[in-house]
Every structure is written in C-alpha cells, then in structure tokens.
A and B are shown apart, each in its own frame.
Chain A
C-alpha cells in the first residue's frame, strides 16, 4: 500500500496566496481544533501549562523577511503537507500506515496502523509530518478528509477547516489536477509554484507568490503637471483663495 498509486483520479490540494496572508494563525488553530477531534484525533499537547508547551499541529505559519532595504518585505508563510504526487514519506513507511489515496491523492496516515517509527517524517522535505509524542503515532494534514466529503456538513462547508476559517481568503481548496478548476485557473493566472521542485516529490499544493509592489520602487504613477502653488512665495494663500473662489463660481 505504501507503493504509490500510478495516478489519482483527482489531485486535491491547497493553493496558498502569499500576497494576502497576514499571518493571523486562524488556519493554524482552526486546523488544530477540527483535527484534534477528527480523523487523527487527538493532536496532543505536551506540558500545555508549563515551561515547554509543544504539541502536534498540522499547519504552521512562519514569518520571513525577504530582500533588503527599500525592496524588502515581510512574507507570512503557512506550511502544511503538500500532498505530493511522488512523496518518499509514503514509500518509506514500513507498515503501510502512510498511503496516498487513489481517489483524490490525499496523503494520509492510518493512526491505527502507524508504529511511530518516524521514518516518514525524515523523508518529508517540508517538515510537514508531526509526531504525536503522547499518542505514539505520526500526524499530518489530512486535507480534512473527514470534512470534504462529510454529508453532515452543508455542501459549502465541505472544505478544509483552515480554508473555511481564513479571514483574508488566502487559502483555496480544489482539484489541482483539473485544469478547469478554479484553483488551477488561479495557479495559472498568478504563477503558482511548487516548493522545492528539486526534491522531485511533485507537491500538489501550490503557492501564489507575493505580487509586485506599487510603491516608490515600482510605481508607475505619473505626476500631474507641477501645481501652481508649489513654489509660491508669500502670497501663496492669496492665489489659492482666488483659485478656490473661481472654482466655486463656475
């Protein structure tokens, strides 16, 4: 089973817009909240009220500074499993607990089979697998597999918890394998890219790059002709009043 399916019917995944993400952590906690009671429940927390609080989370948001000086910027960067097409995290798994679903390409860990050998986490270049110290098994983004087909939820809510919560709309969910899907179009339009293609894992999730700025470094704004009062001397106000008067009596 840890052999990868030849193809998957769909390539479900996330498209994350780095141009919009403000780093609010909503996707992080909503993911935790849904999933700690969901498919791979629980997502344990160690020392939750003590000196070293840490636990399993399926999604984390980093902040980076990119570039320097006038062209520098701050980029918030959410990171979760990319549901790669050819991920070694699955093939290294000795138990078959890790697998990629042929139906939709979702990469899952079966929490009832995992022995917690952690090898899959070594094999993931993206740091997307998190071991649950307390539960003794590996956890990872499930793409909210227990939401997206869940008939107990309204149809519009059958999307991952993180996408549902994201206040800025920086997260999109859909079939990236279908060129006609909204997400695929977005990726095409905005130059969506893969993380570390050199690893050869073929991530399904895509990132939309921050857009060009429109500040002094890139502005195309052309000033209107220099205004009359700019270099005016003492009677700047007088000439201004005359203008105002004239304008009003049009």
Chain B
C-alpha cells in the first residue's frame, strides 16, 4: 500500500491524524472479461479481472443464470489452476515404455499428421477399431458428431461411470431427471429430501438453493450415510446403510399407500397409472400395455364403460378393477399392480428397518410429514395456464415437496430401480413440475423415454461411412440393442448389449479392460479426451495399468495406439502414445450448447460460451479446434465442403456459429437469424459470438409464467419447445410408473420374441427388468462374504476439489493434500483404532493402507474418504514427497471392474444390470489396524516428468500487483 496521498484515487482516504493512508479505491483491473468457469462442470458465469496481462481476480457474474454472482471454492481458485506448473506445453510423443513418462515434444504438424495417419487407416479398413471416449468434457455434441461422421460405433462420454442410473431412471420414468435435467423449486418448496449427494453437478445452484430454503425455514431431510456438507445443515439426517435407499423409499411409498395419502387426480391426469396391463402369464405380450391396432395404450373409461385411448382428453379413467379384454384375457391398471407391490409387507417400515439401519417410527413420521406438506400446505400461484387438452386452469396448484438425488443412489448396482422409485415417490405426491416441486430444465421434459434409439450395430458399420445416427439412445426393447449377428456386443464397452441393455451413456469404465482382453474384439486406436482413466476414474487401478501396458506374443501393445488430450500432466498422460495438449479454460473457445448438457435453469433456457480471455503462452490448442482440424484432415462428411476443403476454416468459433444440426438449429440458441433476432431456430448469424460476448458470454431465454410449470402437459410450453427444437411433437409427457420397455426385455428373457439373450443372461434379465421398481441387494454385497467384508466403503467429493484436477492447484491442495479414512468412533473402538492411527482396508481384490479419523456422523457400518485426493508420484507437477502420493490414497484400487464369477463362469462388469452404471459404492471391505506406518500403500513407481515444470519453492502470487503500485 502506498501512503502518499497525492496518488490516491476514488473514494480517497479515510483516516485519523495518526492513521496511515490506505488506498481504498485502487482499480483492481485493466480489463474485465466475462466468460464461463470450468473448475468444474457446473459452468458458472465469471468475471475475470485482468491486470498487467495477468489474471488478478475471478468473481461470479451476478447476471448469470447458474450462479447468480456467487462462486464456489474451486472457481475462486481458478488463478492457480490457470498458472499450474503441470500444464502441458506442447504435443508429445512417447519415447519410453508406456507408463514411464518419457516423452519427446513434437510440433503440432507432426502430431496431427500422426493422428490423421492412424485414424485414416482405421477408418478406411475397420472403423470400429477406433474407440473414442471423452470424459468430463462439455462438447459432446461436437465430439459425438465427429465420431458419427467417422463411423465408429465406439463413442461415449463419461456418463456411464458417472450417473447414468439417475439419468436413465428419470428419463424412463418422467422424461427428465435430477441429474442435470432438473432442479427443486427452490423458491417454493417446503420440504426437501436430498438423497446421496455430497456436492452434485449443480454445485453452486444447490448451495444457493439450500441457503434459500434455510432462510425460508423449509425442512431439509438428508438421506446419506455421512453427515457432512449439505447433510450437516439438514434438519434431519437419515444415516442410511449404503445401497438400501430403495428399501427406505419403498417404505415411504408403502406408508403413503397405507395412509391413503397419494394424489390420485394427478396420477390419473399425468401418469400411466390407469393404463391397462395384459395379464396372461406365459404369453408373448404378458405384462405389456393393452394397445389398439395403432399401438396406442388403452385405459378403462368409467364414463363410457369401455376402453379408450390413453390420451383421450375427457376420459374418466379407472385406476382400479380388472377388465376383460375382447379376446377374453384380463388386464389390470398399472395402479393396481403398483399398489400391490408397495402395500406388501416386504416394504413395510418394520420389514426394512434392519437392512436400512433406520427406525420404523422415523420412516413413518417422514411419510406423514411428506403427506402433510403435500396435501395441506399447497402452494397456489395465480398463473392461468392451459393443459394439453386445451383446458384452462386459473391457478397453478403445487405440492411443495421436492427431492434431489445423485450418486449415493445411482452409483450402486441397484441404482436404476432406486432412482425410478424416488421419481415415482414424487409423482405419487403430485410433485413433478408443479410449484414447490421438482422442475424440469429446458430442453426437458422429453418423451418417456426420449425418442432416440442407439446406433452402431456392427452390421451397419462400413469403412469410410458415417454411422446411421447418434451412438447413444434409449432402447424400447431388444430390437434396439446393438448386437452382431451372433448376438455379441457391437460396442467395445458392451453398451446396449445384454450385459447392459439400457446403457444410455455407454460404459466408459469397461473400455480399457475390454480392449485389453479383445472382448468383444480388438481395437487399434484408443482416443481419450479429458478423463484420467489410468487413475481415479478407473476401477481396479493396478489391473487397469496392466491392461494399458499389456503386450501380445510379438511384444506389441495389445491396445496398439493411444491418443490422449489433457491439459495437465495427469496420471493418464504417461500411458498415451500421442499427447494433444489442451489449453486451460481461460484460453479457449468453448460452447455449452442446448444440444448437449446446457446451463438452463427451471426458469430459463440458456446456453453459454467460453472465449480466450488470456492468450496461451505455450504451444497448446483447444481440443475442439483439434477435433475440427482432424475432421477436415480425415475428410469426414460434415467437416469438409464438397470440394474437400475444410468446412470450418475459422476453427471452433466458426463451427459454433455456422454449424447446423438441423436447418436453423446450431450449437448456440441465442441471437440466431441473419440479424440476430431469432431465438432457438434461425439462420446462422455471423455476429452471434459478439452478441454473446456483449451479454457476458451467455444467452438466456426466460420462460413466461404460464409456461413455467406443468410443462409435461402444458400446451403453450410444448408448442414453444417444439419451435425451439427441443421436442418433436406436442403430445403430453405421460409419467411411466410402469416401464413397458423393461417388460419387453423380460419377455425376451422368458423366451419370447426374435432376439433372445444368451442362456447365461436369461435369469439376470428376467430378474432385473421388472417394469415396476423394486429393491434388491447390490451385487457385491450379495456375492462376497459379508462376514469377511462386513463394511461398506464409499467416497465423497470435497466441495473444494474437482476430481484429480484440484491437487495441482497451489491453493486448493493446501486445504486437502491428504485424505483420511473416516470411520465411526464405535468401529474404531472395536478395532482398537484411534484417531491418526493407520489402518489396512481390504476388499476382494486388494488392500490399501491409510490414516484414520474417527467421527460420529457416519453410519456405523460405513467407512468413507474424500474422492480423488491420492496421486501417483511424479504426476500433476508435484514433488515426489507430496502428501498426495505418500499419505493420500484411493479406494479405486479396491473396487473391481468385474463382478466375481457368477453362474456359467461369466464375469459381468461391476455395474447396474439395466444401465451399466459403474457401481462405485457397492464396495465391501474390512479394516484392521496397521502398525506404526506413516505412508500409504500401494504406491506405484513414480512417473517421470517429461519436461521442466516451473515449480517455485515459494509462491507470492499478487506481489507484482503490489509492486506495480509503488
């Protein structure tokens, strides 16, 4: 600070005689640029203060729909991410053995030539021999499009190991889901239940929301084995035993039925509760809906006393009563089937008490509280609206119950059904997209499930030809599986095969294992982007590293070529042969599109961009630029003009503006049309990016009040959504309490239909493709000896760390540079383990040594730790003695990517049987005190640092801004 008065500007000095002058109003920035944060995938709007060409400060953008000005712990540490010493400097090619970290820096020309050569060969011969998988990226609409044009069936992003259970569970039930597709109505909700969330993707919105609820005195119930973070501030902590949420929610539903506190009118209006299900055990259509000749489901209309189309506007549907069909068979409404399941003693609070570890009284009380709030504390908004039948409603009446669930529920092998159950619990209370309830974020709701089937069956793959359509989708039955002529998986990850029929996001966690075992086939190039697959995002890391380095008889790598794009020197980099170094998030163009996972909120459809707010000082390129460049070099349709010249010579910005998916629909929805007056649909606008920049790098279209709720059945909303290209028709979304597609698979397992599962898979498909949700024990719990492995082991995300990225951040790592194993005080006592002691944690596949911290707020049978803190020596620009690699540990070493051999000797992946979601949290372990240790195990060989990293012993970032003052 300066005490020379003459220099002071602004508000000047406030001082007493003897007080020094303080420069109260120094200009913190030469320039402020608005862009989008990418310290995590929440995508908040940020203001980047630049001073003397450096980043001085990053602050939340108050106008931004996602974060409304606030910023989280990571976002506020962006400076240190941007200036990380672990940033890659230039393209590299591997010169030592895989895993050694020996690289040579090469030119972009050489890198792109090499990649083009490898990829062109594969494409010209056998395109499926390219597996292109992307991790935490936000440009799946581009990478997916590229893979489609390339013609490989092997493309997906990370959703399969992340939370596809949540996404698919919701999309197959209500056409939307908690997972990035919806939010609680923070403004009106009065009772909020949070299942299995430590942080979520909606990092800041949830925090803002929780603050709001707390301020309003809404009740928050947190269902979680661990009481930290959000769960710590809840009014009620339900310290459930992992993997048993389905029982708990089942018991709540049981109670709602038993107490007769469900919203029957809502069920009749918006769900398939009245739809009739054929009851003809053994028949090929048993358990399917009664349909007319056009295939429209039918219900019994009490008014006319006969069967009518399910979408008959003025019908008076019956929810109960068996009906005799014209052919003499009987059919019963979904409602009856569902009530029978949940009214059964199996789901009574008493029956589930032991398994869940919860008291029956607590479950009873919560069920009653839900009913009371839903039915006696309605929220009424004076917004007239029109439903899909054309009926006008003067008010919007809402049941102010909302729920949110994430990986604590979805990362179990019974997650799909549990997710469905939670959505159904909300439906039964009438709390979907109503004031106070769960709200969709545009472009949701979709049809249930979305009308999009997967593409990439091997029979359709031809050299040099694009795929017939997008890779990922939502099968309605076995006919949509991607199988070869022998019924074997078409995809390297076995997605959309009998192993995981509804794997709507693929199974990225299985790619390396399958490729190394050439099961179902060998590949030639593994192309990965932004996923630390050699470390924290793989199960069984020792096994994964073996797979990545496995060699055949001739001494060649079984996975011959690995191309990887990372921005930092992560654990994955040493395992690739060709490195395409990305920029940091402050240095590139990015597009967070409505075609992808947009930043919409319940109130507005929105998308946003990133742009280079600082120039890279290294020889790095934005990956999207590289993808477009490679597309042009490979002459992929969609990336070249007819004459073979690049279609987007201006690179990614050019693509963002000029690419059209359908006429008038492109990556960005704002300011379309030649003059920028169109929203959603319109011709490309050459000035579009400038308009984004002027608006703080985002676009938001506010949804009018009459379209703000009941959007699954709101005529005006449907019409608007159609116009925007979000929907393909304006029929209402009917919630599927009963999921017929699952029954289709079950029928196949029972021997019906042309496509039959292999016998080894029949029983499994039959059991798990129940059209009504149900609970079953997670696989690992069922298959390993609970006596030997009596404990559950789970992880939580630290709010201030993003997976493995955070550890290179000089500020964030000071907060957490080592992770402890948290165990219940009583458990510690039993094992003679005290605070700070070291312990061994063992699973069926290995053991890990770690340091313990005792606590009270954890389920007695559960141990846990922070996710992704443990680091491999040599990575992330850290010194070899960094606590991250000597005291930090991962549970991933203990999680098997394959289940133990079941019947028939086949080893399924450790995933949900319906969706293929990785079952990270099924892990069963035991613990034992370790003597006198102070270092974690296992520790792997350090990787070499391939280039000089600028790692100061002392960092005094900001001193230069102070000097500048003098």
Contact = CB atoms under 8 A, between A and B. Distances in A.
B882 A39 contact: no
Contacts of B11: 149-151
A25 B879 contact: no
A149 B882 contact: no
A39 B811 contact: no
A194 interface: no
A50 interface: yes
A68 B236 CA distance: 15
Contacts of A44: 954-956, 959
The main secondary structure of chain A at its interface with chain B is: loop
A135 to B, nearest CB: 7
A96 B231 CA distance: 46
A37 interface: yes
B857 interface: yes
A152 to B, nearest CB: 5
A150 B10 contact: yes
Contacts, number: 326
B663 interface: no
Given A149-B25, A165-B76, A229-B259, A41 B67 contact: no
Interface string B938-964: 000000000000011111111101100
A20 B233 contact: yes
Nearest to A219: B365
A216 B236 contact: yes
B230 interface: yes
A72 interface: yes
A102 B73 contact: no
Interface in B8-32: 9-11, 14-16, 18-20, 22-29
Nearest to B815: A25
Interface string A48-67: 11110111010000010100
Interface stretch (A80-88, A119-127, A233-241): A233-241
B268 A42 contact: no
Interface string A107-142: 010111100000000000000000000110000000
B855 to A, nearest CB: 6
A204 B817 CA distance: 33
Size range of the chain B interface in the assembly:
35 or more
A53 B268 contact: no
Nearest to A108: B22
Contacts of A216: 236, 359, 361-362, 365
B662 interface: no
Given A37-B51, A240-B339, A229 B260 contact: yes
A21 interface: yes
Nearest to B54: A37
B881 A51 contact: yes
A39 B22 contact: yes
Contacts of A65: 855-857
B836 interface: no
A214 B72 CA distance: 28
Interface of A: 1, 5, 19-26, 28-30, 32-51, 53-55, 57, 63, 65, 68-69, 72-76, 96, 99, 101-104, 108, 110-113, 134-135, 145-146, 149-153, 156-157, 161, 164-170, 210, 213-216, 219, 221, 223-224, 227-230, 232, 236-237, 240-245, 247-249
19 contacts: A24-B207, A25-B799, A29-B800, A30-B71, A42-B958, A42-B959, A44-B954, A46-B954, A49-B951, A51-B886, A108-B22, A150-B26, A152-B25, A161-B59, A167-B71, A167-B204, A215-B236, A223-B365, A236-B343
Interface of B: 1, 3, 9-11, 14-16, 18-20, 22-29, 51, 56-60, 62, 67, 69-79, 85, 203-204, 207-208, 210-212, 214-215, 219, 227-233, 235-237, 257-261, 264-265, 268, 302, 318-321, 335-336, 339-340, 343, 359, 361-362, 364-365, 368-369, 371-372, 799-800, 808, 810-815, 817, 855-857, 877-879, 881-883, 886, 951-959, 961-962
Given A29-B812, A101-B19, 19 more contacts: A22-B230, A23-B232, A24-B229, A25-B815, A26-B800, A49-B882, A96-B18, A110-B20, A112-B1, A146-B26, A152-B10, A164-B70, A167-B70, A167-B72, A169-B208, A223-B364, A227-B260, A236-B258, A244-B264
